[in-house]
Amino acid sequence: MKRFRLKRSYLLQGLKLSLGALIAVLLAEMLGLRYSATAGVITLLSILGTKRETLRVAAGRLGAYGVSLAAAWICFQALGYNVAGFAAFLFLFAVICCCAGWMYALSICAVLASHFMAEGGMPLDMIWNETLIFLIGAGVGVMVNLTLRSDERRMQEKMAAVDSEMRRLLSLAADPSCQAEAQLKQLDDALASARRLAVSNCDNHLRAYPAFDLAYVDMRARQREILLQIIIAAGQLTHLPAQHQAVEDFFRRVAEEYRMDNDTARLQAGLADLLEDMKRQPLPGSREEFESRAVLYYMLVRLRDFLNVKGSFHQEYMQ
């Protein structure tokens, strides 16, 4: 059974919902509209997770409402303002909503159509009454959601968690005993969590959103794929040649200098020197040493790709 937890964010969400509904009801009552409480219900149904989602759904509901008026008039005129006419309306409008992808509008429009049945007709003043209730409820819902802000503090925490896991893995990458799948699980979880929040933050910007957060997470995800290949290669080492210590030390250096604002230029220069030094080493004396040194060289080449990914990101987004 899931443990009940009362968070501050839940209290704020409840306050936002109740105040939005209250404002909609008060506006409807100030205008002397019948069924004013329905405006509050529509507000509750109009408050969604992000700004872009709210506006998209609000536009769809507006079109669905216009279609629902026509469907209600046809059904009530044909069968009367009774249960049969309302049932026919529900059937017809439900089919239309399924075809048009308007299922999120079905409940709101059904409630508004029920008022016509209760009134026993669809005179112009009643249509105007229902239209204003719809516009007030949906409008207040949109306005409430426009107060949403992207959660930058949590995003920084998520990215810091990704970087922490990446540093930990880099310090272990050259160790043949490092188990890739087990070691990468925490990093994968951190990347997935950071990406979900980055996408949500993007959706809470109505204008062109600077895609730094999402691009940063995607950049780290590309590095994760390279790091996996390095760890797998390290696991293939059956012999540790003399050059292994220098490679392991350099991986630890990368881990120590691993920061968001690092352009990796110094690291790339140091890696180039290490690769040149390995080329100048005496030829291996055995097949086993040859294979092991080839693996080490491959690991350093992939590390170069790893650093290039970050360098390119820094040049595009941080200069």
Report d(CA 210, CA 80) in Å as an integer: 55
Distances (CA, A) of 120 to 108, 116, 132, 246, 288: 19, 6, 19, 87, 92
Query: Rounded mean pLDDT of the chain?
Result: 84
pLDDT band at 149 (very low <50, low <70, confident <90, very high): low
Report d(CA 280, CA 243) in Å as an integer: 12
246-267 mean pLDDT: 88
Report d(CA 116, CA 191) in Å as an integer: 52
The 10s digit of each residue's pLDDT in 166-198 is: 888 888 887 777 666 666 888 888 888 888 877
Q: Is the pLDDT of residue 219 over 50?
A: yes
Least confident window among 2-11, 62-71, 277-286:
2-11
Distances (CA, A) of 299 to 18, 57, 145, 209, 217: 58, 50, 49, 37, 23
Report d(CA 316, CA 54) in Å as an integer: 32
Which tokens in the block code for residue 36?
């004013």
* Domains by residue range for the chain, with CATH: 17-145 (no CATH), 152-317 (1.20.120.940)
Q: Is the pLDDT of residue 27 over 90?
A: yes
Q: Is the pLDDT of residue 40 over 60?
A: yes
List b or e across 93-128, with b for residues whose CB sees 16 or more CB atoms inside 10 angstroms: beebbeeeebebbbebbbbbbbbbbebeebeeebee
Q: With CA atoms as reference, report the closest residue to 102 among 74, 145, 68.
A: 68
pLDDT for the residue numbered 1: 46
pLDDT for the residue numbered 195: 86
Report d(CA 294, CA 275) in Å as an integer: 12
pLDDT for the residue numbered 207: 47
Q: With CA atoms as reference, report the closest residue to 142 among 30, 6, 42, 245.
A: 42
User: Contact 311/268 with Cβ under 8 angstroms?
Assistant: yes
* Alpha helices (H) along the chain: 8-30, 37-46, 51-79, 83-100, 103-119, 124-145, 152-172, 180-203, 212-234, 244-256, 265-279, 287-317
Report d(CA 81, CA 90) in Å as an integer: 13
